[in-house]
C-alpha cells in the first residue's frame, strides 16, 4: 500500500500514456471509519488520500469507478456483531421494528438503539457519497457479492473464513448450509439501502449511478438449476456477462 501511495502520480501518468480512460478502485472501509462506525469518527487523512487520487485521475482524463466495499470489513464490526451475518449492518431500526413498543419501555429501547444498533455499511456508503460524489459518476456498492458470500462463508477460503467444521476445512466456525444465504440476503438489502439513500439525497445533485457487479461464472449453460441459483446474485448494469443464459 505504501508503494501504491508513493507511486500514485507515476502510475496514473502511465495509465494515461497507455490510453486508459477509466480506473476502478475500492475505498477501504477501515481507512475512512477506523472502528467501522461513525461513532469512532471519520479519518480525515483517509478522505484526503482518496480525494487526491480522484483529482489526479480526473486531471489525467481517467474517470473513476469506485467500489464501496471490496471485502475489507473492519475487524471491530466483525467482532461486535458478526458483520454481514447481522441485519444491524444495514438497518439501525430493524431490531426495533420487530419488538412491541409501550410507553414504559420506550426510553430503554431508545437507549438500546443508540448504543447497540448499527447501520454501519450504509453510514460508510454515505460518507463516500458525501465526500467524493461531486466528482464520481459511477458507484459500485459491493464487489462480486456472490464470491464474498460463498467463498467467505461456505468454503472458508476468504475472510472471515467461516464454514461448517465437519467439512474438514480450517474454519473459524460457521454453517455452510445457512450462513452464505444469510450474508447474501443482508448484502443485497444493504445494496438496496445504499442505493435508496443515494437516490433520495445525492442523485438529484450529481446525476450519477449506483451498480452491483456479478462475478464471472463457469457453470454449464445447460444446468438450469445452477443458473437459477447463481443468477439471483447476478443482475448488473456494468460488467454484464457476455455469455447470456437462456433463462435471463
Residues tagged active-site: 144
Which cell numbers in the block locate residue 155? 468454503
Give the separation between CA 150 and CA 169, rounded to whole angstroms.
14
Torsions phi, psi for 63 (to 5 deg): -85, 125
Strands of the 22-26 sheet, one edge to the other: 22-26, 63-69, 138-142, 209-211
- Separation of first and last alpha carbons in the chain: 40
Q: What is the DSSP letter of 178?
A: T
Which cell numbers in the block locate residue 213? 457487479
Q: Which long-range contacts (CB under 8 A, 24 or more apart) does 147-152 make?
A: 147/215, 148/71, 148/183, 148/187, 149/180, 149/181, 149/183, 149/184, 149/187, 149/233, 150/180, 152/71, 152/183
232 Cβ contact partners less than 8 Å away, ≥ 6 residues apart: none
Distance of CA 46 to the CA centre of its chain: 17
Amino acid at each position: 500500500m505504501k508503494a501504491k501511495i508513493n507511486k500514485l502520480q507515476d502510475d496514473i501518468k502511465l495509465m494515461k500514456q497507455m490510453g486508459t480512460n477509466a480506473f476502478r478502485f475500492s475505498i477501504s472501509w477501515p481507512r475512512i471509519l477506523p472502528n467501522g462506525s461513525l461513532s469512532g469518527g471519520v479519518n480525515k487523512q483517509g478522505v484526503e488520500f482518496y480525494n487526491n487520487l480522484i483529482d489526479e485521475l480526473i486531471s489525467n482524463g481517467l474517470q473513476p469507478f469506485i467500489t464501496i466495499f471490496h471485502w475489507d470489513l473492519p475487524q471491530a464490526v466483525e467482532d461486535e456483531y458478526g458483520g454481514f451475518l447481522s441485519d444491524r449492518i444495514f438497518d439501525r431500526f430493524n431490531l426495533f421494528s420487530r419488538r412491541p413498543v409501550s410507553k414504559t419501555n420506550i426510553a430503554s429501547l431508545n437507549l438500546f438503539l443508540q448504543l447497540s444498533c448499527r447501520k454501519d455499511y450504509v453510514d460508510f456508503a454515505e460518507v463516500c457519497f458525501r465526500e467524493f460524489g461531486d466528482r464520481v459518476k459511477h458507484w459500485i456498492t459491493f464487489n462480486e457479492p456472490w464470491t464474498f458470500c460463498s467463498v467467505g462463508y461456505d468454503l472458508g477460503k476468504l475472510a472471515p473464513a467461516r464454514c461448517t467444521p465437519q467439512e474438514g476445512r480450517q474454519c473459524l466456525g460457521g454453517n455452510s448450509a445457512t450462513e452464505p444465504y444469510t450474508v447474501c440476503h443482508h448484502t443485497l438489502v444493504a445494496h438496496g439501502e445504499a442505493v435508496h439513500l443515494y437516490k433520495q439525497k445525492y442523485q438529484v445533485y450529481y446525476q450519477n449511478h449506483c451498480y452491483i457487479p456479478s462475478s464471472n461464472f463457469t457453470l454449464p449453460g445447460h444446468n438450469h438449476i445452477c443458473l437459477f441459483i447463481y443468477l439471483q446474485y447476478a443482475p448488473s448494469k456494468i460488467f454484464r456477462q457476455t455469455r447470456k443464459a437462456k433463462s435471463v
